[in-house]
Amino acid sequence: MAVSEESGGMRPSLADRLYAWRTALIGSRAFQKAAARTPFAARIARKDGEALFDLVAGFVHSQVLRTFVALDLPARLANRPKRPEELSLETGLPPARMRVLCQAAAALDLLKRKRDGRYALGRLGAALPGIPGLPQMIAHHDVLYRDLSDAEGFFGDGSDTELAGFWPYVFGATGEVSAETAQTYSDLMAQSQTLVAEEALRALDLRGTSRLLDVGGGTGAFLTAAGLAFPHLQLHLFDLPVVAEGAASRFDAHGLSDRATISGGSFRTDALPTGADAVSLVRVLYDHSDETVRMLLAKVHASLKDGGRVIVAEPMSGGDAPNRAGDAYFAVYCMAMRTGRVRSAEEIASMLKEAGFSDATPVKTARPFITSLVTARKP
């Protein structure tokens, strides 16, 4: 019992009283000063203080990263270290401000300061170009940052957001979508889905699958990776016609055209193609409301062969154990998009069971901040 009734009111439980005592103790200035004089407690207090400061400074850090990408410093420093003055001439930034940027980037391990005063790429800075889609996502985040500039308003009233206007593809799934809009969406998604595909396919065994249908497959990034990893696999892509038509050149470039079928349509209004023994939903569910997800999963169930498998790959909430990627980033991003929401693996498994699937099981991935997985079977 968390609380008990007493004299017409609610009396806090023992656990709640202990929680209140502990919270008041840790938050008291006297305790913090005393802890600072005790070696073990001082280490904990210092660690907590540093963590809180990192949260305060997080937005500044993100802007250093965004400027680092916008000025293309990884490419400028790819061949040799350079002095801030040289980078200043190349980028147009005033020398004094470039020095501050270089120092900040070095503190974040994007750069490394050398003894002679030049700056080289640090470990994170050198790795950044090799992560598909990351530079594009970093550059795109100015939209989200503007939406969060009034954080209380953002969390409070659910007002219109700029990010929602950036993704009219999601809202326009039942209407016209311009080729330019589709291209903007597809390019960014294709870049990020390359990384998602790599991570998901490390955890998935598709050797027993003969035909894979990718619903909402965009320009075919996930199917291309699956087709290259499993040469026996027949590929079928389903998405809005203006989006899906971009997949043909990708399949052709990778020698997959003879194994690939492209179908244009909307899962909101059209039946899904039949004949597949596996259906993948890669970063699809979290774009949509629970009502739309339930409708989609019912259509997936109807389209699959008996014994077929559905694969859900997307960022997920930690549920009872909140995680930074799903709950402190993607959940907020989805709220800014004003369409779907991030769900836990347990929630997705429950929705799959409601749709008639069995054996709904989370599949562990090495990097859940890139994607998590849930699979289930049609009995």
Give the residues across from 194 on adjacent strands. Answer: none
Tokens, residue 77: 């420093």
Residue 271 confidence (pLDDT) above 50: yes
User: Which architecture does CATH list for 63-129?
Assistant: Orthogonal Bundle (1.10)
User: What integer pLDDT is reported at residue 20 of this predicted model?
Assistant: 79
Q: Are 213 and 207 in contact (CB under 8 A)?
A: no
Q: Is 293 exposed, middle or buried (0-12, 13-18, 19+ CB in 10 A)?
A: buried
Going from N- to C-terminal start, the domains of the chain cover 3-33, 63-129, 139-377
Residue 349 confidence (pLDDT) above 50: yes
Distance CA 200, CA 312 (A): 10
Residue 175 confidence (pLDDT) above 50: no
Give the residues across from 10 on adjacent strands. Answer: 5
CATH code, 139-377: 3.40.50.150
User: What integer pLDDT is reported at residue 171 of this predicted model?
Assistant: 45
> pLDDT grade, residue 182 (50/70/90)?
low
Question: Which is more confidently placed, 170 or 255?
Answer: 255
For residue range 36-95, what is the model confidence (pLDDT) as tens digits?
677 776 677 778 888 888 999 999 999 999 999 999 999 999 999 999 999 999 999 999
Residues 6+ apart with CB under 8 A from 19: none
H-only helix segments in 71-176: 73-76, 84-91, 95-107, 123-127, 134-140, 142-147, 151-157, 162-166, 168-171
Residue 186 confidence (pLDDT) above 60: no
Q: Do domains 63-129 and 139-377 have the same CATH topology?
A: no
- The pTM score is 0.83
> pLDDT grade, residue 158 (50/70/90)?
low
Average pLDDT over residues 6-15: 68
Lowest mean pLDDT among 132-141, 160-169, 210-219, 329-338: 160-169
